[in-house]
Amino acid sequence: MATVEAGTDAVGSAVQKAGSYRWVIVGLLFAATAINYVDRQMIGVLKPTLQAELGWSESDFAGIVFWFQAAYAVGYIGFGRIVDRVGARIGYSVAFIIWTAAHMMHGAVHTVTQFALARVALGLGESGNFPAGIKAVTEWFPAKERAFAVGLFNAGANVGAIITPLVVPALTLAYGWRTAFVVTGAVSVIWLVAWFAIYRRPREQKRVSAAELAWIESDPADPSVPLPWSQLVRVRETWAYALGKFCIDPIWWFFLFWLPGYLGTRYHLDLKTFGPPLVAIYVLSDVGSIAGGWASSRMMKAGKTVNYARKMTMLICAFAVTPIFFAQSYDNLWVAVLVIGIATAAHQAFSANLYTLPSDLFPRAAVGSVVGIGGTVGAVGGMIFSLYVGQILERIGSYTPIFIVAGSAYFVALAIVHMLSPRLAPVTEAA
């Protein structure tokens, strides 16, 4: 055992000298995730504008979000299987093409129904982002680095959320919201060219040194044949991940799609003024995403088990969210921004560790499928929560019940993960 650890340390030292091409892959995943979130969040940033111009009610907006999430649920499980079959390179490319075309379609729609149809197409394409991204991380990183790598590329979500309120209002005020959809979609095609040119599996990429390849492949070999869903759904660890997603994904959807409207209603901000508060919130989210992956990886390098490192990090994050219970009562805008920003940072840190569980627990060939199942279950939770938010806002007009649910969800998620997988032991074979 000591010999193996010494050998692994030697390989790691050699990698530092030989180069780290795998981090270029993380850069591509980071950029794609940022684009994904620009495209996803634009409807939230433009919510007040679209409601005023097209006469949407809160229920209309909730319905549009609902259908996006329904398509996302279907697409997530489909893309999870696709990337296990064809790999990250082709799977990611297909997803990107679908969602970019759908995003640009938004510039040509007029009615609530047409918007819902455009969001359905967008949801189908965007659902491929995380199954393909986590599959790529699994192909390119050993277990000890995966949480940090996932945290880094997941931070692209926050960068996308930062870019959106900075760029989209300016485009909208200058050229109109329809042009904003077309221009942002057209520019993002540059990423697809870079992805095709750069991405290969580690053994197929000539720029990867022998030392780095040895580090990437330093984990024990596992089966290469994808496990069927009929086996995966009978494994408790699949549901530990999926039900965790069911609890926390709806909260992130809420932050993305309703936060601009909340700032407008509570603090009287508009398209010209809610940019800085949103940027501050998502900068904090970015820090949380990276810190969450770093924290658990650091604990593991210090000798803690995967079980301890992942769950302790998630527990700390769950406590960090709780001040959001009182978000509605803060009269000072920047106090509210700080509280909400810490909550979104904690979400991203929690999510970075939850996202890593499939690669901790399952063979590489099953990771995409498990991520797909979890994403689908999470999107179903988002659908239910979207309808809840729409009804609460129309009937009560207060965000307080919503924030109470948001502040509680992470404890419930962690409790479910612990009950279903108390040791986070790797699944050797599906029952």
pLDDT tens-digit map of 270-308:
888 888 999 999 899 888 988 988 999 899 989 999 999
The residue to which tokens 């990698």 are assigned: 15
Is there a contact between 135 and 367 (Cβ–Cβ < 8 Å)?
Answer: yes
pLDDT at 13 (0 to 100): 52
Is there a contact between 318 and 186 (Cβ–Cβ < 8 Å)?
Answer: no
How many Å apart are CA 175 and CA 168, to the nearest integer?
10
pLDDT at 350 (0 to 100): 96
Cα of 102 vs its chain's centroid, Å: 19
As given in the structure block, the two tokens for residue 9 are 């340390």
Is there a contact between 340 and 51 (Cβ–Cβ < 8 Å)?
Answer: no
Domains belonging to the chain, first-starting first, are 21-205+236-420 (1.20.1250.20)
How many Å apart are CA 72 and CA 185, to the nearest integer?
19
How many Å apart are CA 374 and CA 233, to the nearest integer?
11
Q: Which residues contact 367 (CB under 8 A, 6 or more apart)?
A: 84, 134, 135, 138, 358, 359
Q: Which residues contact 261 (CB under 8 A, 6 or more apart)?
A: 44, 47, 48, 61
Amino acid at 345: A
Compute how many other C-beta atoms are within 10 angstroms of the C-beta atom of residue 6: 10
| Residue 187 region by backbone torsions, left for phi larger than 0, else alpha for psi between -120 and 50, else beta | alpha
- Backbone phi and psi for residue 110, each to the nearest 5 degrees, phi listed first: -135, -35
Amino acid at 137: V
Q: What is the pLDDT of residues 126-143, one digit of tens each?
A: 999 988 998 899 888 887
The residue to which tokens 């290969």 are assigned: 200
CA distances from 378 to 149, 186, 323 (A): 22, 29, 24
Is there a contact between 248 and 410 (Cβ–Cβ < 8 Å)?
Answer: yes
What is the widest separation between alpha-carbon atoms in the chain? 69
Cβ-based burial of 417 (10 A; exposed 0-12, middle 13-18, buried ≥19): buried
How many Å apart are CA 153 and CA 30, to the nearest integer?
4
The model carries a pTM of 0.78
Low-confidence residues of the chain, pLDDT below 50? 1-8, 10-12, 14-15, 18, 430-431
Listed residue (316, 289, 271, 309) closest to 424, CA to CA: 309
As given in the structure block, the two tokens for residue 187 are 């520019």
Compute how many other C-beta atoms are within 10 angstroms of the C-beta atom of residue 194: 13
How many Å apart are CA 354 and CA 44, to the nearest integer?
25
pLDDT at 231 (0 to 100): 87
pLDDT at 3 (0 to 100): 44
As given in the structure block, the two tokens for residue 60 are 């209309």
How many Å apart are CA 251 and CA 407, to the nearest integer?
9
How many Å apart are CA 352 and CA 195, to the nearest integer?
23
Compute how many other C-beta atoms are within 10 angstroms of the C-beta atom of residue 186: 12
How many Å apart are CA 86 and CA 59, to the nearest integer?
39
